[in-house]
Amino acid sequence: MVKPFTPEDLALFQDLGQLDVSSRGVAACVVRSVDMAQDGYVSTIWTFPLDAAPARRFTLGTSGENCPRWSPDGRTLAFVSPRDGLPQVHLIAADGGEARQLSHLRFGVGSIQWSPDGTKLLATCALPLDPDSGEAAALADEPRSPDAPEVAWRVPYKSDGTGYLLARAFHLCSIDAATGEDTPVTRGAFDVMASCWSPDSTRIAYVRTREGREAHRTDLWIANADGSEARQVTRDYASVMSPRWSPDGRWIAFAAGREEGDAQTRLHLFEVASGDARQLGDDDMEVGSPDSLQWKRDSRAVILVVATRARQHIVAVSVDDGRRRDLVTGDRHIAEVRATGGTLAYFSESATTPRELYASNLDGTGERKLSSLNAWWDDRLALVSEVRTFRVPDGRGGFENIDAWLVRAKGSEAPQPLLVEAHGGPNSFALLGFPWNTYWNALCSKGWAVVVPHAVGSTGFGRKFAERLNGHWGELDFPQFMAVVDALQADGIATDHVAIAGKSYGGYLAAWAVGHTDRFKAAIVAAPVANLESHFGTSDGGYYSQPYVLSAERHIEPERYRKLSPVNHIHHCTTPTLLLQGKDDQRCPMGQSEELFAVLMRCGKAPAELVLYPGGDHHVYETGKPSHRLDIVRRMLGWLERWCPPPDRGQTT
């Protein structure tokens, strides 16, 4: 029997991540399910033979399995698990038997990678530092107490989700795959963010932060496998990600952002012999997932997930001419990919289908679904989504076309109440994972339509389109949002029951909207950027991104910061507004919501509520405690039904 989607469905959802495929053609990934009883999650590793032999839950230890990595011969799966307290490397045979602990690192292990010869694992480890040692980066004997003072002598000193940064450093160590013996590879006043092996296992490439006041920048380094003869090989990028050494040893592919604060990421190539680095592919090709980068076996192309017009696709980019060949496409998001032999394995999800594991031939043909972890979805009221194009003002007196997802229940009757969703970023695009959008599904089942415009500033539509919003937050994109609403009402798709919701930059836009129009019957503002001046100093990345995205330094053009801050317009608000905020959000800290709320309470008459989630970070909505997530979705639905009730109840505000 077909049932409506409900907020409680979030407990049924099983999420897949951290895909790896063995040389023997077996995919491994982490499956994360919700444990409502413990108000947490259970992560186990599953295996899926690509030849469609039965899927198998492979590990069942405690609950926090992570980072599955097949040994090069495909006989052993390494993974990280806190089975005995600290996260350590464990090995499990591909053909039977339970895992044994390999590493015994004093402070545990983050992520791991096999050397191509299978003798070692390169591990990223968090080592405790004495924060008072500053640039000297003296190692501490013990991890710091959570109550210890947090001294800062540089930015960044905190990070959303992690908290205080200066009492630990990420470094590489090498773990012998036979004995588990570990030896340090890097040491110093920097963090290693990513790494890879050379194909002959003699060298490593890694991405590390700079020392001192430029610690927010990252560069590519190369060293011998033992860490000796380390040398910096890139200098001109603000951020480098996901280095991948080509099988022939000639290249290192990586993703990078050129300018500080620019969230757009491009594919680059470093030639090991010459030391030259260059961009690969055209400037409009947005890397959708840096982690997805990998080489084709012949070293002549890089396969990766790109973000393109609100979708994420798998493409191959030729090293010779930078030409891009689409492999796996469609109105959907590909989240990760692994190319092995003649097969691509990847996660696919869309607004209408849950994330599952798929496989196809290398050219994208012969697609087949390998996992059915979310079969419950099939019993729900089906969704349909489409990418609709809207003609909207371009802010220069003319018009341009933008794309938007329009999601509805199958067979719903227009016109419908409409939720306008503003995506985060703004240099990003709408993510389609169910944990992000649980309320879309529930709303659609209740007869709503959801529209997600990709207004100016969105990435995946060319560099210029993204950059045009710089310095014009709200000013350029808000009118485009309103044009989308106008069009949907004119087309008879939406009633005048229209609400707006958004998280992060989406929260900015929703707050901006209700300060500038009365058209919305209700608004939901989650984890917003509200006051650009205070956000600059209190967000973990405010000082870094804002000068770029506002095209203005705070101390030189404070007026622009003020003018573009929703908090300075919210006193005009007449729209019932629900504010949802993680109390430990360091990206868009609690104060942003509090400032909006105080103005709404003191200067406006519109109903408003502020809900704080203790311990919640910037991603409490997607990855927070299940009880918080459930509360968020229920409150959102409740707020919309209260202030924007469906017409069939005969109520209007």
Partner 1 sequence: MSPSPRARPIDIDTLWKLQRVGNVALAPDGSAAVCSVTRFSMDENKSSASLWLLPGDSCAPRQLTRCGDTDGKPSWSPRGDRIAFLARREQEGRKDAERQLYVIPLAGGEAERKSDFAPGIDDFKWMPDGRSIAFVSWVWPDARGARAQGQRHKAFNERKESAYVTCEPQYRHWDRNLPMGCAPHLLLLDLESGRVVDLLEGTGYELPRADPCAAHFDISPDGRRIAFVHDPSPRKVAGNVFAIAEIELARRRIKPVTDDAAWSYEAPRYSPQGVLACIASNLGKRHTMPGRVAFRRGGKWQLAQMDRDIDVEAPLRWSRDGASIFFTAQERGRCHLWRCGTESGALSIAVAGGWVHGFDVGGAPGDATLLVALDCAQHAVQVHAVRAGQASRLERFNDEVLERVALGETREVTFRGARGEPVQMILTFPPGFDARKRHPVLHVIHGGPYAAAGDTFAYRWNTHLFASRGYVVAAVNYHGSSGFGWRFADSIVGRQGRLETQDIEAATDWLAKQAWVDATRLFASGGSYGGFLVAWMNGHVAAGRYRAYVCHAGVFDRVATFSADSYSQRPKDLGAFYWENPARVRAQSPVTFAHRMQTPTLVMHGANDYRVPDTNGLAYYNTLHARGVPTRLVWFPDEHHWILKPRNSRLWYREFLEWLAAHAADRKARGRG
Q: Which residues bind partner 1 (CB under 8 A)?
A: 35, 38, 40, 42, 44, 47, 56-63, 83, 92-100
Q: Which is nearer to partner 1, 97 or 411 (CB)?
A: 97
Q: Which is nearer to partner 1, 20 or 291 (CB)?
A: 20
Query: How far is C-alpha 213 from the geometric centre of its chain's CA atoms?
Result: 26
Query: Min. distance of Cβ 162 from partner 1 in angstroms?
Result: 23
Q: Which is nearer to partner 1, 102 or 442 (CB)?
A: 102
Q: Which is nearer to partner 1, 101 or 361 (CB)?
A: 101
Query: Min. distance of Cβ 191 from partner 1 in angstroms?
Result: 31
Q: What is the DSSP letter of 194?
A: E
Helix (H) or strand (E) holding 587: none
Query: Min. distance of Cβ 84 from partner 1 in angstroms?
Result: 11
Q: Which is nearer to partner 1, 42 or 431 (CB)?
A: 42
Q: Which is nearer to partner 1, 92 or 316 (CB)?
A: 92
Q: Which is nearer to partner 1, 79 or 643 (CB)?
A: 79
| DSSP states along 534-568 | HHHHHSSSHHHHHHHHTTS-TTT-HHHHHHT-GGG
Query: Min. distance of Cβ 74 from partner 1 in angstroms?
Result: 11
Q: Which two tokens stand for residue 496?
A: 């005048």
Q: Find all residues with CB under 8 Å of 238, minimum gap 6, and list them.
A: 217, 218, 256, 257, 258, 259, 260, 261, 262
Q: Which is nearer to partner 1, 40 or 116 (CB)?
A: 40
Query: Min. distance of Cβ 35 from partner 1 in angstroms?
Result: 6
Query: Min. distance of Cβ 177 from partner 1 in angstroms?
Result: 17
Q: Find all residues with CB under 8 Å of 649, minimum gap 6, and list them.
A: none
Q: What is the DSSP letter of 413?
A: P
Long-range contacts of 152-160 (CB under 8 A, 24+ apart): 154/212, 154/213, 154/215, 155/213, 155/215, 155/216, 155/543, 155/544, 156/215, 156/216, 156/540, 156/541, 156/544, 158/540, 158/586, 159/540, 159/586, 160/540, 160/585, 160/586, 160/587, 160/617, 160/618, 160/619
Query: Min. distance of Cβ 338 from partner 1 in angstroms?
Result: 19
Query: Min. distance of Cβ 100 from partner 1 in angstroms?
Result: 5
**Which three-class secondary structure string do you get for 303-351?**
EEEEEECCEEEEEEEECCCCCEEEEECCCCEEEEEEEECCEEEEEEECC
Query: Min. distance of Cβ 126 from partner 1 in angstroms?
Result: 23
Q: Which is nearer to partner 1, 372 or 651 (CB)?
A: 372
Q: Which of 2, 50, 8, 46 has the alpha carbon at shortest distance from 25? A: 50
Inter-CA distances, 273 with 220, 334, 557, Å: 15, 34, 45
Q: Which two tokens stand for residue 99?
A: 């895992």
Q: Which is nearer to partner 1, 65 or 286 (CB)?
A: 65
| Residue 344 phi, psi (nearest 5) | -105, 135
Q: Which is nearer to partner 1, 22 or 546 (CB)?
A: 22
Contact 457, 477 (CB under 8 A): yes
Query: Min. distance of Cβ 392 from partner 1 in angstroms?
Result: 49
Q: Which residue has the tokens 């186990």?
A: 44
Query: Min. distance of Cβ 54 from partner 1 in angstroms?
Result: 9
Inter-CA distances, 170 with 206, 306, 425, 523, 646, Å: 12, 28, 27, 41, 52
Report the residue count for the chain: 653
